[in-house]
Structure 1
Amino acid sequence: MRRQVALLLCAVQFLTRLPTPPLRDFDPAWISRSARYFPLVGQMVGALSAAVLLACAQVWSGAVPALLALAAGVLLTGGFHEDGLADTADGLGGGTSPQRRLEIMKDSRLGTYGALALVLALGLKAAALAGLAPLSAAAALLAGHGAGRAAAVLAMGALPYVARGEAAKWKPAPETLKAWEIALAVALAAWPLALLAPAAAGLGLALGAAFALVPALAARRLIGGYTGDVLGAVEQAFEVGFLLGVAAALA
């Protein structure tokens, strides 16, 4: 039990800016092993973002509660996944060879493709949330954040890791996930779906999976696998597709 608590705290430290107790005898391999709890961390971020949305909906209407909820999520994670989306868009969109694409993804500067990806992703999420009743939007945030992290874990299991040398954001290189760890992550991501109507949950999952496949398949074809940035892009793409699917089903 102590080890599982340590792995959960490791996942919180890795994916968010939330304060946590120090981890004694930390082993870098814990980052990979903690992937089983990524959906729980996503649900934590989603729950706090949902609370912001519900509170703001008592004061404002329209897109303001949705935008403030998304801003809360970005603050909680430090824009961790959004940064991965931007870097992936710049690298895959601007490079002409696998090596050049990886070099661009290492560059901290924001390019045109990355800026466009961020604007479109945040804009689509805000528009989808703004079209939902506050309680439905809150449930969609909770479920989407957790399922988005599960999509990233599935990508870790399905694709090889592309080493990027000293500039890599994930050091040491992630270890191969076990099948039961991936299954546990998917199971942990599933429970908030019960808060949504079955049609909304089903369409959200379908569109989320379709959107997440785009960066995953593009990365496999263009650089040979995934990096930490690609996982961020997969997570963000899933969130966008999921929220659009829920909004379409409940429209």
Structure 2
Amino acid sequence: MMTLKYQYQLFMLALGFFSRIPVPASIPYSEERMNQAGRYFALVGLLLGSLCALVYGLASSVLPASVAIIIMMVFSLMLTGAFHEDGLTDMADGIGGGMTLERRLTIMKDSRIGTYGASALVMVLLGKYVLLSELVKFEQIATFIIVAYTLSRAVAASLIYDMPYVSDADASKSKPLAQQQSKLELTVLLATGVVPCLLLSLPVAFTLVAVIIVFRFLFKRWLLERIGGFTGDCLGAAQQLSELLIYLTLIAWMVNGA
């Protein structure tokens, strides 16, 4: 089951699940395959980040940087169907508005958006715009986008490895990914997530990885305390928050002349 054809099929499943990019209808599907496809979550992020960087580059060649950023952000939302942003809002509503575990999980399944979710969504989108507006001042903006998209998805999917799944799998959009990852899948995921960091200087790359490790530890601990594990919405929130943290860390390096 380790042939190139099989791995290609797994990647296509991951691409179809985590983005709106069309994939061949002939790709075989099963819950086992979909679960294994999680190993390519970061690779999907690499592709999405590259496309977004390309869109920014094209837009910025004829438009002001601020307009190009908005265009890229809209393109990104369309590319993923706001998949991760939706998870962030649901998690914020559930954990922010629920006083018990059962209530928090119930709120997360509600498709309606509440005050906590709306506030989180506005702040994250605004945060991305502000941070990217600072990063475009530097020549490596395309690299920054690719690194952020790839590494943030790696840390989000890695939470599946050592955390219990606490939602109703039958009603969850992340049901195929709810099973525990194997060490091989985790290794592929993390290796893919870290490799783009090598496009940066080694001190910056090491700092990013260290910051993400700390974030993962704290976020995991927080989720365990709040809901006793993770849901698919929590993975989306992890991706969004870690992406912001990566941008923030890069800015800290750049503005200090690193």
Taking structure 1 as the reference length, what is the TM-score of the superposition?
0.93
Cα 1:197–1:65 change in 2 (3 A) is: farther
Q: Which moved more, 1:118-127 or 1:132-141?
A: 132-141
Q: What are the ranges of 5 or more consecutive residues in structure 2 without an aligned counterpart? A: none
Structure-to-structure mapping, 1:63-102, within 5 angstroms:
63-102=66-105
Q: Which moved more, 1:112-121 or 1:33-42?
A: 112-121
Please give the per-residue CA displacement for 1:190-218, whole angstroms capped at 9, x wherever unaligned: 22112223343334334444445554332
Instruction: Tell me the CA shift for residue 144 of structure 1.
Output: 0.8
> Partner residue of 2:43?
40
Letter paired with 1:67: I
Letter paired with 1:183: T
Cα 1:7–1:200 change in 2 (3 A) is: same
> Partner residue of 1:192?
196
SS across alignment from 1:63 = helix
Structure-to-structure mapping, 1:12-51, within 5 angstroms:
12-51=15-54
Percent of matched pairs sharing the same residue: 35
2:157 is the counterpart of 1:153: yes
> Partner residue of 2:239?
235
Cα 1:215–1:113 change in 2 (3 A) is: farther
Structure-to-structure mapping, 1:210-221, within 5 angstroms:
210-221=214-225
2:113 is the counterpart of 1:113: no
Cα 1:182–1:173 change in 2 (3 A) is: closer
Taking structure 2 as the reference length, what is the TM-score of the superposition?
0.90
> In the alignment, is the contact (CA less than 8 A) between 1:82 and 1:236 conserved in 2?
yes
Please give the per-residue CA displacement for 1:3-57, whole angstroms capped at 9, x wherever unaligned: 1111000000110000110144421222210111111100111001101111122
SS across alignment from 2:167 = coil
Letter paired with 1:159: M
Question: In the comparison of the two structures, how many residue pairs are matched?
Answer: 251
Letter paired with 2:194: A
Q: What are the ranges of 5 or more consecutive residues in structure 1 without an aligned counterpart? A: none
Cα 1:166–1:153 change in 2 (3 A) is: closer
Cα 1:59–1:24 change in 2 (3 A) is: closer
Q: Distance in 2 between matches of 1:223 and 1:61?
A: 44
Q: Which moved more, 1:117-126 or 1:139-148?
A: 117-126
